[in-house]
Structure 1
Amino acid sequence: MAENSEQSTNVDLTGKSANGLVDKASEQPALAVSEAAVERASPCPYRLFRRERSVHQIMGGGKAADVILWRRHNISIGILFAATAAWLLFERSGYALLSLVANVLLLLIVILFFWANSAALLKRPPPPLPELELSEEIVNSAAASMRVRINYSLAVAHDIALGKDFKLFAKVVVCLWLLSVVGSWFNFLTLIYISVVAFITIPALYDKYEDHVDRFAEIAEEEIVKLSKKFDEHIGSRIAMFLSKEKKMQ
């Protein structure tokens, strides 16, 4: 009898332990499912310009993106140093960019001319110049893509000129006014230098401080939406009524 009771207790203990393991194993997928459901239910974080890809992917994801985002520090520093040196050279010395390009091309053509003629006289190989040629497919594809973009720009300009989209008209006016103001402050060479420096620094800074910038951008966008709604209610509606009256009178 004692042996039977011990066997029954052992069976009970092993059964309880097995049931406990089964219960724990069944709880783990339930927890995983609940966590996945919470993650799906939680809203996605705000991203600047409503983008869904990373900055590196937007930049192309290649070597150029690595250079712009300072993942290849030597090349990025070299580009920044070269741009600064070129700007100082042309801005301080007063040497014109067009004159420099013309002189460099002239020197290159003269060197290649004498190299080719001397190689023919001395029976040596000519200068290794590749034969460059554009295929018809490349030209047709480039022309087709340019045609689509130009037609889209012309259609947008047509809508702006006829006043069909007042918000777009206001954005274009503000952008052109800002360009005229900035152009009065700097010359063309300085604008190019500022553009190069901004292009190689701003994306890298944004990629480093992405979360902080997106948080402030979300707050700024909410304020801009509120202001635009107030503007539409008070001024935009009046302008639309005035334009509709003029069209009726015509």
Structure 2
Amino acid sequence: MATHPRSPHDLLGGGAVADVLLWRRRNASAAAVVGATVVWFVFERAGYSFPSVLANALLLLVAILFLWAKSASLLNRPLPPLPNLEVSDVVVEKAADHALVWINMVLVVGHDIAIKRDRKVFIQGILILWVVSYIGMLFNFLTLIYIGVMLSLLVPPLYEKYQDQVDEKFGAAYSVLSRHLDTIISKTGQSTKQKKTE
């Protein structure tokens, strides 16, 4: 049996999110599935729009807090326990760091295509964008998010259970695709060289 340098739990960050995605916290994972399904049903099947649901939820929350505060002052009860409602600098810095990594990855790909003229990256980019475009034609944005949430909750535990078999199959598929991609690149390179010599 092959040894793996990192487990799926480590690859997912090793924290509470990894526990939820790998169903080690079954209640939280089930709640995530139910919550995502309810949100998808409310917006997709019931026909509500996100701004109206958000406005109604905030209206209900404000009304409850106002009535609680008024009744607390009349009945000499404690005020509603509200947390400190501000975003810390640490949260903003972490979000900016994550966004910066993704933006830089996209810029590197763009640089490789435009400046280095890397055919392999160009063809990979075209294939990925075509697949995303094709899937986008089949589903609307909310359904795509719902499918992504469901896959993120179902695929990691299956991968953890069958990691060796999945790695073997993906390795074989990657080598086949890489060979085909190299063949396409070599043929396009030959055709451009032939045009230059003519």
- TM-score under structure 1 normalisation? 0.66
Summarize the Cα distance change of 1:236–1:205 in structure 2 as closer, same or farther, 3 Å threshold.
Answer: farther
Q: 2:146 — aligned with what?
A: 193
2:61 paired residue among 101, 105, 108: 108
**1:21-100 aligned within 5 A:** 45=2, 52-100=5-53
Equivalent-residue separation in structure 1 for 2:182 and 2:113 (angstroms): 21
TM-aligned CA deviation for residue 58 of structure 1 = 0.8
Equivalent-residue separation in structure 2 for 1:192 and 1:165 (angstroms): 32
SS of the residue corresponding to residue 70 of structure 1 reads: coil
TM-aligned CA deviation for residue 46 of structure 1 = 8.6
Equivalent-residue separation in structure 2 for 1:46 and 1:176 (angstroms): 34
Percent sequence identity over aligned pairs: 45
Gaps spanning 5+ residues in structure 1: where?
1-43, 246-250
Equivalent-residue separation in structure 2 for 1:137 and 1:102 (angstroms): 28
1:225 paired residue among 175, 178, 181: 178
Q: Deviations over 1:167-222 (max 9, x none)?
A: 22222222111111111111111111101111011111111111211222222222
Equivalent-residue separation in structure 2 for 1:46 and 1:171 (angstroms): 30
CA contact (8 A) 1:46 1:215 kept: no
Gaps spanning 5+ residues in structure 2: where?
none
TM-aligned CA deviation for residue 148 of structure 1 = 5.7
CA contact (8 A) 2:21 2:152 kept: yes
Summarize the Cα distance change of 1:84–1:185 in structure 2 as closer, same or farther, 3 Å threshold.
Answer: same
Equivalent-residue separation in structure 2 for 1:94 and 1:110 (angstroms): 25
Q: 2:127 — aligned with what?
A: 174
Greater relative contact order (CA < 8 Å, ≥ 6 in sequence): 2
Q: Deviations over 1:114-166 (max 9, x none)?
A: 32234334443221112234455654565466446534533432443446322
CA contact (8 A) 1:46 1:218 kept: no
Equivalent-residue separation in structure 1 for 2:165 and 2:10 (angstroms): 20
Which deviates more, 176-185 or 226-235?
Answer: 226-235
